[in-house]
Amino acid sequence: MAKEITRKIKLQIPAGKATPAPPVGTVLGPAGINLQEFCTKYNDATRDKMGDILPVEITVYEDRTFDFVIKTPPTAFLIKKIANVKKGSTKGKNEMVGTLTQDQLREIAEIKLPDLNCYDINEAMKIVAGTATNMGIKIEN
């Protein structure tokens, strides 16, 4: 018989740096799961991606056990990292703060493809390009 799902929790945690302290502890504590066990499993699973912020979906079951799925880093995080900018433009696409080449755009799209709502790398590139443009990142042809 399948376990009954009590709740689903979504968090964004730096890879390999989950601790029972806030924000992880304050969100997962009321769910009744073992914080130390979650932190250990998450840190082991994300150790190879240190420095990245990774979204995680945690499914908590009735018997206080849990499963989690690690997603790809947020698109804005990847754009800032590859374009080497601290933050996006405050004025959106009206103020350019950095540039991305087509190869860099393809690299980000390939990373994000499993989590995007498309099947083709060209469609994924269009989605990433839209996010980059709204962040004030120019796409070079």
Write out the residue range of the structural domain in which residue 79 sits.
75-139
pLDDT at 128 over 70: yes
Say if CB 70 and CB 48 are below 8 A apart.
no
Burial bucket for residue 84 (CB in 10 Å: 0-12, 13-18, 19+): exposed
- Is the domain of 52 the same as that of 30? yes
pLDDT at 1 over 70: no
pLDDT attached to residue 109: 93
CATH of the domain at 22: 3.30.1550.10
Residues 68-107 pLDDT 10s: 999 999 999 999 989 888 888 788 778 888 888 999 999 9
Q: Percent of the chain having pLDDT more than 90?
A: 38
Calculate mean pLDDT across residues 45-59: 90
Answer with the one of 47, 70, 93 that is the final residue of a domain: 70
pLDDT attached to residue 140: 85
Nearest to 80 by CA among 122, 130, 135: 135
pLDDT attached to residue 49: 87
- Is the domain of 46 the same as that of 92? no
pLDDT at 57 over 90: yes
pLDDT attached to residue 115: 87
Say if CB 138 and CB 94 are below 8 A apart.
no
State how many domains the chain has. 2
Characterize 46-69 residue by residue with b for buried, 16 or more Cβ atoms within 10 angstroms of its Cβ, and e for exposed.
beeeeebbbbbebebeeeeebebe
pLDDT attached to residue 9: 92
- Is the domain of 132 the same as that of 82? yes
CATH of the domain at 90: 1.10.10.250
- Is the domain of 66 the same as that of 10? yes
